[in-house]
Amino acid sequence: MSGTTATGTAQPRVARRADVCALACAEAFRGEGEILASAFGTAPALGARLARRSFAPDLLLSDGEAMLMADTLPLGPAPADAVVEGWLPFRAVFDVVASGRRHVIMIPSQLDAHGNMNISAIGQHARPKAQLIGTRGAPGNTVNHRTSYWVPKHSPRVFVEKVDVVCGVGHDRARAAGPAASRFHRLGRVVTDLAVLDFDTPDNRMRLASVHPGVSVDEVLAATGFPLVLPEAGAAAVPTTPQPSAAQLELLDLLDPKGLRYREVPA
């Protein structure tokens, strides 16, 4: 029987790093109510599902194409008999973006201390050293509704002093652009494979909110290309990211039966 040893003693399931990341992404959606949760990457996609199945039941989830799904389905293509609760083609997504009833988790190629985000190009825009996927909906998302970020591999290449192209708008740029830009500008959290970061500081500079179990504060600081804000009491006061409960781990297995999350974050 799974979960039971030969002697019949229950074997406590130990959460792996990817499980912690999925829960940290789920927590981004806590208290969001009846809005569209959009998620890029495995941990965010799982997180949105976990949130809806536990503490944020009113979230709306799409199938990645044009349907809103009533069922909270495992990762992968939706089965043919899955219940559809709404129609959401791309143009309707744009309407939702502008209405503000959405929270997206995007994957930045570069992110700075103010939350400016780049997915357009590395180097000069006219002739990039590396062409990236393109600015997509990042400019509109960030000035219209809450935007969080997922960084599957925390490194100084992602966390940079200055991003090469501002696609997603950070706090400093939103303020400088005036009231129309800052009116609905709300950045959420930044979840990485090492830590949770946020902007809950007086000047909205990025803060180390928690480190994942088994990760040291120094490790996170060394993997970040700019100084992170730490608690006044010092590095020792940085909390540890919560681990999923046994019930949440079971849910994660149900929602990701193939264990795709362990491929995204192998630690």
Partner 1 sequence: MGSKLSSIEDAVAVVESGMTIGIGGWGSRRKPMALIRALARGPATDLTVVTYGGPDVGLLAAAGKIRKLVSGFVSLDSIALEPHFRAARQRGEIEYAELDEGMLQWGLLAAAHRLPFLPIRAGLGSDVPATFPGLRTVTSPYADGEELVAMPALTLDVAFVHANRADAAGNAALLGPDPYFDDLYCLAARHRVLSCERVVETAELTKEGPVQALRINRMMVDAVVETPNGAHFTSCVPDYDRDEAFQRAYAAAAGGDGSGWPAFRDRYLAGDEATYQRAVREDREALA
Question: Which residues here bind partner 1, judged by CB under 8 A?
Answer: 65-67, 87, 89-91, 94, 97-98, 120-121, 125-140, 142-144, 165-169, 173-174, 176-185
d(CA 251, CA 22): 11
For the CB of residue 41, give the shortest distance to partner 1 in the complex, in Å: 12
264 close to 43: Cβ distance less than 8 angstroms? yes
For the CB of residue 107, give the shortest distance to partner 1 in the complex, in Å: 10
For the CB of residue 134, give the shortest distance to partner 1 in the complex, in Å: 3
Q: Which is nearer to partner 1, 26 or 167 (CB)?
A: 167
Closest C-alpha to 199, from 236, 171, 224:
171
Q: Which is nearer to partner 1, 55 or 94 (CB)?
A: 94
For the CB of residue 169, give the shortest distance to partner 1 in the complex, in Å: 4
d(CA 194, CA 32): 25
d(CA 8, CA 198): 43
Q: Which is nearer to partner 1, 127 or 247 (CB)?
A: 127
Tokens of 245: 């409960």
Q: Which is nearer to partner 1, 52 or 114 (CB)?
A: 114
120 close to 165: Cβ distance less than 8 angstroms? yes
102 close to 137: Cβ distance less than 8 angstroms? no
